[in-house]
């Protein structure tokens, strides 16, 4: 079992009530949301996905005092932070993360701004180990870029996160580039979280829509694959050579297969994308990172390991639990599925490289809890 | 071994002409006043590479741009479209992967190929 330091790159923090977020809206938007009499608030979160038959949360993560999983710092601290040598956690929001699925682009931009302020004030203030994604309303890329730059001086806001897809175009499309310009300029990786292009906004899958959560969850990698191919083909890494991308919750065992095909297709179709200067797999190897959860389970565990090794993914994988979701991967479990000489890199070192941290600066969590918590 | 494959006038500009040189089937390209000779066999799946399209190398200084380098002729194999620059026969995506090229010289209005021992 691995017992060394850990960086968890996908932890979903949530709010319990609309009021928590409404507090951070501008007065005008606050009135828009709340002033509906008996109709109640305008919905703040987009929720039109398929229902999970178990619910989306681990039953044991509901706070004892009530409220939603991921909404209570003390519960998260006890269940996640104190359970192992966690040095950093990257928060990735809950249902609110689907903000780019809102039809109203102005409302989405305001919500994203409010969510980020909520995250800074309600979470980052409690514990130095907690870091947050910057959510953006990618419906308005210039506004989204400004939101990224607004957090440039806050080291706790560590990455830009994309989930839903407002334009039905792969995320490499130039319409999204203002966001990447801001991400590169401010040194933030862009995280593409599973479900992108497939939760509130179609298409959820290639070939046709699905009928069950079972199907859509199996096929989550499809959207991630679309965005990865799009990023590379559009030359995003030529245009923004310091940009880093992290693929979150899309699995990893498919990556060798996709990159082998991608490289082969490039040899024949290069003239359609002559701005590319390297093989697609080479762009991947220098710009893209991948979170571990959910690690594919092969009947013989060495099969997955061999696949990952074939593309040197032991140097690109970063640990993620997905706490408090139903399909979270435990450190103890994951350490039994991966070779022990990979553990420190995947649980700690690779994430330090991804986010530009020095390992020695991430001290043990003795004094991590801030006084105000 | 030097092989005479015909007078200059037999070779049309920007076209590949297939000739026999020793045991090899060779495509001879005239690119204005330059000549290139390529073994008509793609290293990928042994396709007739010289039957493919020849054009100036396409490049892009930035995403979305297309520029032609007319000084660098590129041959695309008709099977799968893999592209090779003709100066050294190298694939555009891997300098170590190449079609076999032969030295060409012009003497007294004749096109001569230097045919060494076949590598394959």
Question: Which ipTM was obtained for this model?
Answer: 0.91
Which has the higher per-residue pLDDT, A155 or A196?
A155
Taking only residues 166 to 195 of chain A, the set having a beta carbon closer than 8 angstroms to any beta carbon of chain B reads 174
pLDDT in tens, B9-54: 999 999 999 999 989 999 999 999 999 999 999 999 999 999 999 9
Determine the average pLDDT of the residues in A305-330: 97
What pLDDT is stored for residue A269 in this prediction?
A: 97
C-alpha closest to that of A70 among A45, A109, A96: A96
* Angle, vertex CA B54, rays to CA B49 and CA B55, nearest 5: 150
| A282: contact with B, CB 8 A cutoff | no
Q: How confident is the model at residue A50 (pLDDT cuts 50, 70, 90)?
A: confident
Q: Give the residue from chain A lying closest to B80, CA to CA.
A: A268
pLDDT in tens, B92-117: 999 999 999 999 999 999 999 999 84
pLDDT in tens, A225-245: 999 999 999 999 999 999 999
| A240: contact with B, CB 8 A cutoff | no
Which residues, other chains included, contact A341 with Cβ-Cβ below 8 Å and sequence gap of 6+?
A: none
- pLDDT higher than threshold 80 for residue A125: yes
Determine the average pLDDT of the residues in A14-19: 96
What pLDDT is stored for residue A371 in this prediction?
A: 59
Which residues, other chains included, contact A126 with Cβ-Cβ below 8 Å and sequence gap of 6+?
A: A73, A369, A370, A372, A373
- pLDDT higher than threshold 60 for residue A109: yes
What pLDDT is stored for residue B117 in this prediction?
A: 46
- pLDDT higher than threshold 50 for residue B119: no
B61 vs A contacts (CB less than 8 Å): 275
What pLDDT is stored for residue A372 in this prediction?
A: 59
A236 vs B contacts (CB less than 8 Å): 63
What pLDDT is stored for residue A364 in this prediction?
A: 79
Pairwise CA distance, residues A294 & B3, whole Å: 63
Q: How confident is the model at residue B120 (pLDDT cuts 50, 70, 90)?
A: very low
Pairwise CA distance, residues B99 & B86, whole Å: 9
The pair of three-digit structure tokens given for residue A315, joined into one six-digit string:
């140097």
* Cis bond upstream, residue A156 (ω within 30): no
Instruction: Say if the Cβ atoms of B80 and A268 lie within 8 Å.
Output: yes
What pLDDT is stored for residue B49 in this prediction?
A: 98
The pTM of the full predicted model, rounded to 2 decimals, is 0.95
Which of B63, B67, B92 lies at the smallest CB-CB distance from A270? B92
Which has the higher per-residue pLDDT, B37 or A365?
B37
Instruction: List helix spans (H) across B8-101.
Output: none
What pLDDT is stored for residue A200 in this prediction?
A: 55
| Average per-residue pLDDT for chain A | 94
Pairwise CA distance, residues A39 & A19, whole Å: 16
| A238: contact with B, CB 8 A cutoff | yes
* Angle, vertex CA A214, rays to CA A49 and CA A302, nearest 5: 130
What pLDDT is stored for residue A199 in this prediction?
A: 54
The pair of three-digit structure tokens given for residue A198, joined into one six-digit string:
């497939």
- Largest Cα–Cα distance in chain A? 62
Q: How confident is the model at residue A196 (pLDDT cuts 50, 70, 90)?
A: low
Q: How confident is the model at residue B85 (pLDDT cuts 50, 70, 90)?
A: very high
Compute chain B's Rg from CA coordinates.
14
DSSP state of A329: P
Instruction: Say if the Cβ atoms of B64 and A174 lie within 8 Å.
Output: yes
What phi and psi, each to the nearest 5 degrees, are found at residue A100? -75, 0
B81 vs A contacts (CB less than 8 Å): 267-269, 271
A270 vs B contacts (CB less than 8 Å): 83, 92-93
- pLDDT higher than threshold 70 for residue A216: yes
Which has the higher per-residue pLDDT, A216 or A353?
A353
pLDDT in tens, B49-66: 999 999 999 999 999 999
How many CB atoms neighbour CB A105 within 10 A?
Answer: 17
Instruction: Say if the Cβ atoms of A174 and B82 lie within 8 Å.
Output: no
* Residue found by looking up tokens 């990556």 in the block: A255
What pLDDT is stored for residue B118 in this prediction?
A: 43
| Average per-residue pLDDT for chain B | 94
Pairwise CA distance, residues A310 & A252, whole Å: 12
Which of B64, B67, B93 lies at the smallest CB-CB distance from A266? B93
What phi and psi, each to the nearest 5 degrees, are found at residue A153? -90, 0
The pair of three-digit structure tokens given for residue A221, joined into one six-digit string:
């990698």
Determine the average pLDDT of the residues in A268-297: 97
- pLDDT higher than threshold 50 for residue B87: yes
C-alpha closest to that of A92 among A247, A255, A313, A237: A247
C-alpha closest to that of A355 among A156, A172, A194, A193: A156
Q: What is the number of residues in chain B?
A: 120
First to last CA, chain B: 17
What residues form DSSP beta bridges with B53? B76
């Amino acid at each position: 079992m691995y017992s060394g330091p850990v960086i968890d790159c996908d932890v979903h923090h949530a709010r319990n009530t609309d009021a928590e977020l409404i507090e951070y809206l501008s007065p005008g938007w606050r009135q828009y949301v709340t002033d509906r009499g008996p109709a109640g608030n305008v919905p703040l979160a987009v929720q039109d996905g398929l229902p999970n038959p178990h619910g989306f949360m681990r039953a044991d993560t509901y706070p004892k005092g009530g409220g939603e999983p991921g909404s209570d710092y003390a519960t998260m601290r006890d269940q996640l932070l104190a359970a192992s040598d966690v040095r950093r956690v990257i928060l990735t929001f809950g249902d609110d993360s689907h903000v780019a699925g809102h039809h109203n682009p102005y409302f989405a931009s305001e919500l994203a701004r409010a969510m980020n302020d909520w995250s800074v004030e309600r979470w980052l203030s409690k514990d130095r180990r907690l870091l947050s994604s910057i959510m953006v309303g990618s419906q308005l890329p210039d506004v989204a870029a400004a939101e990224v730059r607004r957090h440039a001086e806050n080291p706790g806001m560590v990455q830009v996160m994309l989930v839903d897809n407002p334009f039905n175009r792969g995320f490499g499309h130039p319409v999204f580039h203002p966001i990447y310009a801001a991400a590169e300029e401010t040194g933030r990786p862009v995280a593409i979280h599973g479900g992108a292009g497939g939760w509130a906004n179609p298409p959820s899958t290639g070939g046709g829509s699905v009928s069950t959560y079972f199907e859509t969850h199996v096929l989550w990698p499809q959207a991630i694959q679309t965005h990865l191919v799009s990023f590379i083909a559009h030359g995003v890494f030529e245009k923004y050579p310091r940009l880093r991308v992290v693929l979150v919750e899309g699995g990893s065992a498919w990556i060798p297969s996709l990159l082998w095909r991608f490289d082969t297709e490039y040899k024949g179709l290069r003239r359609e994308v002559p701005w590319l200067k390297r093989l697609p797999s080479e762009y991947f190897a220098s710009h893209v990172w991948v979170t571990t959860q959910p690690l594919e389970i092969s009947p013989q565990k060495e099969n997955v390991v061999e696949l990952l090794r074939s593309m040197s993914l032991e140097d690109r994988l970063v640990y993620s639990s997905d706490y408090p979701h139903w399909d979270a991967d435990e450190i103890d479990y994951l350490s039994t599925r991966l070779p022990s000489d990979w553990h420190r890199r995947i649980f700690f070192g690779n994430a330090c490289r991804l986010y530009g941290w020095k390992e020695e600066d991430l001290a043990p969590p003795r004094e991590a809890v801030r006084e105000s918590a | 071994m030097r092989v005479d494959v015909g007078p200059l006038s037999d070779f049309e500009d920007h076209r590949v002409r297939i000739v026999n040189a020793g045991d090899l089937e060779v495509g001879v390209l005239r690119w204005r006043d330059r000549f290139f000779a390529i073994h008509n066999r793609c290293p990928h799946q042994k396709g007739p590479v010289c039957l493919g399209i020849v054009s100036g190398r396409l490049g892009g200084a930035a995403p979305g741009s297309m520029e032609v380098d007319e000084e660098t002729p590129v041959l695309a194999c008709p099977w799968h479209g893999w592209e090779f620059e003709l100066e050294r026969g190298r694939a555009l995506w891997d300098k170590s992967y190449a079609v076999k090229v032969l030295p060409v010289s012009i003497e007294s209005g004749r096109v001569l190929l230097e045919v060494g021992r076949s590598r394959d």
